[in-house]
């Protein structure tokens, strides 16, 4: 193998490793995507609760997740579970109650989350919240939040950040531009996935 080919292969391997590291860096599972076996393996859950979570999908908030668990888990158990299992919140629309479910957040920080609305990008979130906490804490908070993407303006890479989305679905998102309203999104994307998946994906987008 030629030296240039070896160098190219090493570079591609390093990039792939970096992407895997970035994905693996998040220890927070999404209850709409986690497998039932993985859910049941969490210390606070068992097979029955895992099955109940799966049956309740799509969950639109961690409040809905807690409603499934309220009769079985204590408030402390649910709080501990949120560290590892959480429905990401929309930074522009989440209520104060939803924001306060983010593990380790204070009332003051919840206020700062609201103060900079509307967010147009995660970069804005990093910049504004980074005024109050260090980079590591911003990154920790980032695991629990998202900024909705404009269907008519977001890039392929932007869409690829939506949890559980495939490259094929990214293509379908772009295929039907421009979108005139959310009903068009539901109609077009509903050709490829069921209503529950359309509802799950809808949380992450907005018609701009």
Q: Give the pLDDT confidence score for residue 65 in this predicted structure.
A: 98
Whether residues 100 and 75 fall in one domain? no
pLDDT tens per residue across span 58-88: 999 999 999 999 999 999 999 999 999 999 9
Residue reference for tokens 């979108």: 179
Q: What is the mean pLDDT of the chain?
A: 90
Residue 42 lies in a domain: yes
- Closest by CA to 42, choosing from 71, 84, 102, 70, is 84
Considering the domain architecture, whether residues 155 and 136 belong to the same structural domain is answered as: no
**26 in a structural domain:** no
At 111-159, the pLDDT tens digits run: 999 999 999 999 999 999 999 999 999 999 999 999 999 999 999 999 9
- pTM comes to 0.85
**Residue 157: CATH number of its domain:** 1.10.150
Percent of the chain at pLDDT > 90 equals 87
Asked if residue 131 is part of any domain, the answer here is yes
Q: Which domain holds residue 74?
A: 36-82
**DSSP line for the chain:** --HHHHHHHHHHHHHHHHHHHHHHT--PBPTTTS-HHHHHTSTT--HHHHHHHHHTPSP-SHHHHHHHHTTTS-HHHHHHHHTTB---EETTT--HHHHTTSTT--HHHHHHHHHTPSP--HHHHHHHHTTTS-HHHHHHHHTTEE-PEETTT--HHHHTTSTT--HHHHHHHHHTPSP-SHHHHHHHHTTTS-HHHHHHHHTTEE--
Work out how many domains the chain is built from and give that number.
3
């Amino acid at each position: 193998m030629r030296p240039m080919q070896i160098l190219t292969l090493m570079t591609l391997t390093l990039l792939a490793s970096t992407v895997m590291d970035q994905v693996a860096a998040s220890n927070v599972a999404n209850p709409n995507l986690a497998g039932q076996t993985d859910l049941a393996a969490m210390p606070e859950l068992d097979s029955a609760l895992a099955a109940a979570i799966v049956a309740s999908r799509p969950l639109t908030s961690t409040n809905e997740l807690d409603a499934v668990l309220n009769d079985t888990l204590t408030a402390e158990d649910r709080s501990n579970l949120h560290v590892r299992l959480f429905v990401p919140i929309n930074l522009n629309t989440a209520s104060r109650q939803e924001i306060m479910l983010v593990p380790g957040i204070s009332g003051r920080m919840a206020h700062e989350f609201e103060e900079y609305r509307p967010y147009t990008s995660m970069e804005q979130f990093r910049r504004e919240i980074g005024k109050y906490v260090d980079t590591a804490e911003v990154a920790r908070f980032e695991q629990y939040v998202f900024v909705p993407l404009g269907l008519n303006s977001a890039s392929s890479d932007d869409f690829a950040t939506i949890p559980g989305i495939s490259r094929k679905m990214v293509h379908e998102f772009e295929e039907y531009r421009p979108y005139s309203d959310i009903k068009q999104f539901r109609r077009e994307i509903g050709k490829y996935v069921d209503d529950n998946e359309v509802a799950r994906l809808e949380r992450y987008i907005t018609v701009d």
